[in-house]
Chains A and B, each alone.
Chain A
């Protein structure tokens, strides 16, 4: 079997969530099939400027084909189109213009896909919302498998993505909540799919004491790992933790790992370590009392999975359906929606040893059962083997020239607000579709 992983950026130093996800999947499927990566020359996800050289490249053992981006993203134009389609009535043409302004637009990549489609058995497209996935899925629909990595943002309500979700051969969801959301917005429960997520490379030699000595942290602490960004809920975390530190706990510290694009408050018990190596990251998880995930928008938190793999409970933002659902299903984390709940749950994790131990054990078991690499690989291969035996269906074509210009589509924010919310907890095992309860 020959597979192509098609992703917006690719490289050993490209650490975005979906891009890392794509790299892990490509590397692990390479054990079972011939895998190539098709991507752009961009490194920066904001500008999509060409930074890598076009042509063939090797990252690890994989062949990577890079294609230039036609134009970098203009944030002003993108913002204007986003406002137009998210907040106002609009047309399909407006949505296509939004997609064009978002990028990364690489006509050469799409031409390559069309021309060489028959050389590959399947194309795994990552991140539904980018131009490469939209045009790529349309170009090779009978061989397209989509890994949407969708979050609950207004883009999911754009009408142009409905035919893509209904027309690809298969969909690999990250979580039950993501599946429920996409099925609600696109009505694509008949498309073959599975909820699979992604695994992680967990080192066996992580050492809590090494981390404590290296960074001189002797007090108990909770850790946040990821980009320190307003969109990730960091300001709220800082505020809650400062209140907690002054009113409840006398020793607990908050350790922050990752690049910061906001001002970190100066507080004696908040430590920012910046970007650290993987070894330090896992050492930090081994030493931490718990991982805290304040983000409200996640399609799958890889770092939460890594924490569970390391036997550490997770304290998640309950406003994020995916994280709340995962905490409940794994029985390995608690969640909060306001300061009172934050304080109570964190205090329970800090002081209640039996609870902490039980959550830790559950997390470890949950990771092994659902997110260890053999499980992930098996799920991918099962879906691909099924698809090989099934007939491909035609994807719905784009509407006609006049129809595309008719402003009859409601603001997508309204569409997304009307979608069901909450964690997806109970499912019919026999059917392909999940239902929120």
Chain B
């Protein structure tokens, strides 16, 4: 919720409202404004959502739907016994009243009056029924509009949430990759601090024989790299060589499992630096350096 620094006597309500609106935008997410989210909700949701069952054009569909229209009730009339003889002029009424017996000699107006009177009653009832039906349908239309509005809001919210879930997934992947990389790095450094018990130069000399008899794919490569490091950096100081060895190990573990592109960008410079140790020199093809069991012995530091 909003916090404002208020200096007495200098309030700018518009500025406060701008601040409040900015906070609301920030809460919703910096990447998407309300307008953008609505635009996203109006495009094909299949690109974002899975499963793909939600219609994105609900409101449009509703607006294009033909509205229930009703003809206006026709104005009713009242028809009484005297209506056909009525007039706004008193003289005409008087004359008609005088001549009414003559008229009744020619034809009987009573059935006509009765029929028109009944018709007016029927009209009134029908108008009432029409009004009732119209009001019921009007209420239904209002309800429909509300339902569509709710559905549309749900679609907007689903879009917003799916975008957020995607973002969170990517973040989790990135964090996972970094965590893995850090763990491997930590293991390598631990190995450096606590060298294996059979780490004496004499034992190392004997080791290549046994290693060769086992799996031969990855371990000879390690030896070769060690040798390259040894060649490049003269073994005058034992500590220098130990560092080189640690770096080589890190580079190896890095090569064994490459992080995802997200993790790569997240890890950044650290991985680039550690990778340098393995890419300082172009790797030679294995065939160019025939290996002998003595290679390992030649690689050992001189003491």
B16 surroundings in chain A (CB, below 8 A): 334, 348, 355
- Cβ of A71 within 8 Å of any chain B Cβ, yes or no, is no
Min CB distance, A217 to chain B, in Å? 24
Query: In the complex, are the beta carbons of B11 and A358 less than 8 A apart?
Result: yes
- Cβ of A359 within 8 Å of any chain B Cβ, yes or no, is yes
**Which residue of B8, B21, B23, B27 contacts A358 across the interface (Cβ within 8 Å)?**
B8
**Which residue of B1, B13, B17 contacts A347 across the interface (Cβ within 8 Å)?**
B1
A333 to B13, CA, bound (A): 7
A61 surroundings in chain B (CB, below 8 A): none
- Cβ of B20 within 8 Å of any chain A Cβ, yes or no, is yes
- Cβ of A392 within 8 Å of any chain B Cβ, yes or no, is no
Min CB distance, B234 to chain A, in Å? 69
A323 to B8, CA, bound (A): 23
8 A Cβ contacts from A304-361 to B: 327-328, 331, 333-335, 340-341, 343-345, 347-348, 351-352, 354-355, 357-359, 361
- Cβ of B4 within 8 Å of any chain A Cβ, yes or no, is yes
Query: In the complex, are the beta carbons of A331 and B6 less than 8 A apart?
Result: no
Min CB distance, B73 to chain A, in Å? 10
Scan B8-25; emit 1 where CB is below 8 A from any A CB, else 0. Answer: 110111101100110110
Scan A244-260; emit 1 where CB is below 8 A from any B CB, else 0. Answer: 00001000000000000
Min CB distance, B142 to chain A, in Å? 13
**Which residue of B8, B11, B12, B20 contacts A345 across the interface (Cβ within 8 Å)?**
B20
Min CB distance, B14 to chain A, in Å? 6
Query: In the complex, are the beta carbons of B20 and A355 less than 8 A apart?
Result: no
Residues of A in contact (CB 8 Å), total 23
Q: A340-B24, A341-B20, A344-B23 are in contact. Are A331 and B3 (CB under 8 A)?
A: no
Interchain pairs with CB closer than 8 A, number: 56
- The dominant DSSP class at the A interface is helix
B20 surroundings in chain A (CB, below 8 A): 334, 341, 344-345, 348
B27 surroundings in chain A (CB, below 8 A): 340
- Cβ of A362 within 8 Å of any chain B Cβ, yes or no, is yes
- With both beta carbons as reference points, the residue of chain B lying nearest to A340 in the complex is identified as B24
Query: In the complex, are the beta carbons of A334 and B13 less than 8 A apart?
Result: yes
- With both beta carbons as reference points, the residue of chain B lying nearest to A345 in the complex is identified as B20
- With both beta carbons as reference points, the residue of chain B lying nearest to A351 in the complex is identified as B1
Query: In the complex, are the beta carbons of A335 and B17 less than 8 A apart?
Result: yes
- Cβ of B2 within 8 Å of any chain A Cβ, yes or no, is yes
A333 to B17, CA, bound (A): 10
Query: In the complex, are the beta carbons of B1 and A348 less than 8 A apart?
Result: yes
B2 surroundings in chain A (CB, below 8 A): 344, 347-348, 352
Query: In the complex, are the beta carbons of A352 and B3 less than 8 A apart?
Result: yes
Min CB distance, A120 to chain B, in Å? 40
Min CB distance, B30 to chain A, in Å? 16
Query: In the complex, are the beta carbons of B24 and A341 less than 8 A apart?
Result: yes
Interface centre among A333, A344, A351, by most chain B C-beta atoms within 10 angstroms, is: A344
B14 surroundings in chain A (CB, below 8 A): 328
8 A Cβ contacts from A343-392 to B: 343-345, 347-348, 351-352, 354-355, 357-359, 361-362
Q: A352-B6, A358-B6 are in contact. Are A331 and B1 (CB under 8 A)?
A: no
A334 surroundings in chain B (CB, below 8 A): 13, 16-17, 20
Min CB distance, A300 to chain B, in Å? 18
Query: In the complex, are the beta carbons of B13 and A341 less than 8 A apart?
Result: no
A303 to B20, CA, bound (A): 26
**Which residue of A331, A344, A357 contacts B24 across the interface (Cβ within 8 Å)?**
A344
A248 surroundings in chain B (CB, below 8 A): 1
- With both beta carbons as reference points, the residue of chain A lying nearest to B8 in the complex is identified as A358
Query: In the complex, are the beta carbons of B17 and A331 less than 8 A apart?
Result: no
B24 surroundings in chain A (CB, below 8 A): 340-341, 344
A358 surroundings in chain B (CB, below 8 A): 6, 8-9, 11
Q: A347-B1, A348-B2, A348-B4 are in contact. Are A328 and B23 (CB under 8 A)?
A: no
Query: In the complex, are the beta carbons of A354 and B13 less than 8 A apart?
Result: no
B4 surroundings in chain A (CB, below 8 A): 348, 352, 354-355
- With both beta carbons as reference points, the residue of chain A lying nearest to B75 in the complex is identified as A80
A351 surroundings in chain B (CB, below 8 A): 1
**Which residue of A331, A335, A361 contacts B12 across the interface (Cβ within 8 Å)?**
A331
Query: In the complex, are the beta carbons of B13 and A355 less than 8 A apart?
Result: no
A351 to B23, CA, bound (A): 16
B13 surroundings in chain A (CB, below 8 A): 327-328, 331, 333-335
- With both beta carbons as reference points, the residue of chain B lying nearest to A331 in the complex is identified as B11
A357 to B9, CA, bound (A): 10
Min CB distance, B37 to chain A, in Å? 13
Min CB distance, B10 to chain A, in Å? 8
**Which residue of A328, A341, A343 contacts B21 across the interface (Cβ within 8 Å)?**
A341
A181 to B8, CA, bound (A): 34
Query: In the complex, are the beta carbons of B1 and A344 less than 8 A apart?
Result: yes
A357 surroundings in chain B (CB, below 8 A): 8
Query: In the complex, are the beta carbons of B11 and A359 less than 8 A apart?
Result: yes
Min CB distance, B99 to chain A, in Å? 36
A340 to B12, CA, bound (A): 20
A328 surroundings in chain B (CB, below 8 A): 13-14
Min CB distance, A364 to chain B, in Å? 13
Interface centre among B2, B4, B12, B27, by most chain A C-beta atoms within 10 angstroms, is: B2
A362 surroundings in chain B (CB, below 8 A): 11
A347 surroundings in chain B (CB, below 8 A): 1-2
- With both beta carbons as reference points, the residue of chain B lying nearest to A83 in the complex is identified as B72
B8 surroundings in chain A (CB, below 8 A): 354, 357-358, 361
A333 to B11, CA, bound (A): 10
Q: A328-B14, A359-B11 are in contact. Are A354 and B21 (CB under 8 A)?
A: no
Given contacts A343-B1, A348-B1, 5 further A-B contacts (CB under 8 A): A334-B13, A335-B13, A344-B1, A352-B4, A358-B6
14 A-B pairs within 8 Å (CB atoms) are namely A334-B13, A334-B16, A335-B17, A340-B24, A341-B20, A341-B21, A344-B23, A348-B4, A348-B20, A351-B1, A352-B3, A354-B8, A358-B6, A358-B8
Q: Which residues of B contact A (CB under 8 A)?
A: 1-4, 6, 8-9, 11-14, 16-17, 20-21, 23-24, 27
Q: 10 closest pairs, A vs B, by CB?
A: A354-B6, A347-B1, A344-B20, A340-B24, A331-B11, A355-B6, A358-B11, A348-B2, A328-B13, A344-B2
Q: Which residues of A contact B (CB under 8 A)?
A: 248, 327-328, 331, 333-335, 340-341, 343-345, 347-348, 351-352, 354-355, 357-359, 361-362
